[in-house]
Amino acid sequence: MEIYHRIGFNPRRSPALVTIVEKLGISYQTLPLPGYEVGLIYFDIAESDPTWPELRKALGRWPVSDRFDTIFDREEILSAEWLRAVPVYEKGEIKPDTPKWRYDLYEGYCRGCGAYERQKNPVKLAKEPKRPEGYFVSPVGPYVLLCSPSMEETIRETGIQGYEAWPVLHYKTGEALENTVQLYIPHVTKPGLTHTDGLRQTQCAMCRRIKYQPHMRGVMYIKREAMDGVDNFDIVHSHEWFGSGHGAYREILVSNRFARLCLEKKWKGIRFKVVELV
């Protein structure tokens, strides 16, 4: 397990930070800004990097963007009983291109926090999402897993349980897309998220649901009893909601068997993160 940070900052506002970064020997890139000779500086760094402790102290003195995530290695994934399948390849334009699509797609959608009761209709896209063969894809907006029919066939023939193959529709014709299907996940765990210290949560003023900030650091811990009734499935949704603002999603939890299949087939488009049942 390694935690990586992507640091970005404006050198005109934090010139001393540039000096520190260069002194530590950290390589960086610049993002051009129209009308400015020097653009934004950004770089990636792991917390295991020997320069991280000193850099971390310096970052608290100036305004910076610090986006971080946890990467698990293959052996950690293969030895985990359960994992999160996190979509990382966004392709596909959801339709209609107004907030109305949420009310069309979800039953009981809350405009306050973005949570909902269930997905009631198939996803509608402007066209087939372009991606290489063997890629899972998630459209911009809904937190869902789409794949090719051949991938779904392999998943089904392997005996993976807990999903339904739903069509993905062309929003104008209403016809099913030929090369894209959704792995619809109807089953939800019981409440059980634990080890939430440092994980900010908010309660929606409208629907009263609790929503956690996205879980980015380390292992996610869930009480084993939360899996009662769904532990014979390979794909389920977490009971808990995550997100920020008006966006909300449930984590996609998958079994070791599902993860092994994806690694064996070298399928891309999702990142596995370890879940520990306690």
What domains are defined for the chain? Answer: 2-71 (3.30.70), 80-86+188-277 (no CATH), 92-184 (no CATH)
At residue 175, does pLDDT exceed 80? yes
Closest CA to 136 of 91, 69, 77: 91
Q: How confident is the model at residue 80 (pLDDT cuts 50, 70, 90)?
A: very high
At residue 37, does pLDDT exceed 80? no
Alpha carbons 175 and 18: distance in angstroms, whole number: 54
Q: How confident is the model at residue 36 (pLDDT cuts 50, 70, 90)?
A: low
Q: How confident is the model at residue 35 (pLDDT cuts 50, 70, 90)?
A: low
Alpha carbons 144 and 264: distance in angstroms, whole number: 22
Average pLDDT over residues 64-89: 97
Closest CA to 140 of 172, 101, 189, 197: 101
Specify the pLDDT at position 93: 87
More confident call, 34 vs 187: 187
